[in-house]
Amino acid sequence: MMKKVFFDSSVLFSAVNSPTGGSAKLFTLTNIKKIVSKVVLTEVERNVRNKLLNYHLDRFFLLVEKLEIVDLPIDKGLVKKTEEIIVKKDAVILMQAKKAKPDFLVTLDKKHFLQEKVINFMQPAKVLTPKDLLQIIERKI
C-alpha cells in the first residue's frame, strides 16, 4: 500500500519556490500518496501571490494537481488542545495533519514542527524533512 505523506505549508511553498530542492523532488515520486489540507493550500497560495512571481503561481497550480486535497473540518476544541503542542499560528495545520492520519508529515519548519512535542503528538506518523523522507524512500528502493 502507498504511504500517505502530509505536506505542510513550508514544503509546498518551497517546492513552488525552488524546482531543485527536496520538496520539489517529492512531487516526482509516484510511490507515495501526497496529501494536503485546504488551509495549507490557502496559506501557500496567499504567500505565493504576495511573495513570489507570476510564473510561481502557475507552478503552484501545476503542483497542486499532483496532490490529494483532503477536506478536514476545523475542530476548534482540538485546535485549542493542539496549541499546547505548537504555537498558535501552526495549531490548525498540525491538528489537520493529525486528523489526516498520514504515515509521514513533511515539513521544513525546524523551529516549530520538528520538535519532540510535535513528533510525539503525531505518532505513529513520523515528522521529518523532505530530504529525510527521500533518504528513507531511496533506502527502501
Partner 1 sequence: MVTALCAASTTEVRIMLLTDAALKNMNITQSNIYPVSQARNMFSRLIDQIGTTKALYVTKKGKIRAALIDIDYLQKMQKDLQELYKKTYIDKDLLSYTREFTDAEIKEWAVEDKL
Which 8-state DSSP code applies to residue 2?
P
User: For the chain, how long is the longest CA-to-CA vector?
Assistant: 41
Distant-in-sequence contacts of 80-89, Cβ < 8 A, 24+ apart: 82/121, 85/117, 85/118, 85/121, 86/112, 86/113, 86/115, 86/117, 86/118, 87/112
Between 43 and 122, whose beta carbon lies closer to partner 1? Answer: 43
42 binds partner 1 (CB under 8 A): yes
13 binds partner 1 (CB under 8 A): yes
What x/- string results for residues 59 through 78 when contact with partner 1 is judged by CB under 8 A?
A: --x--x---------x----
Chain residues binding partner 1 by CB under 8 A are 9-10, 13-14, 17-18, 20-23, 25, 38-39, 41-43, 45-47, 50-51, 61, 64, 74, 89, 92, 108-110, 129-131, 134
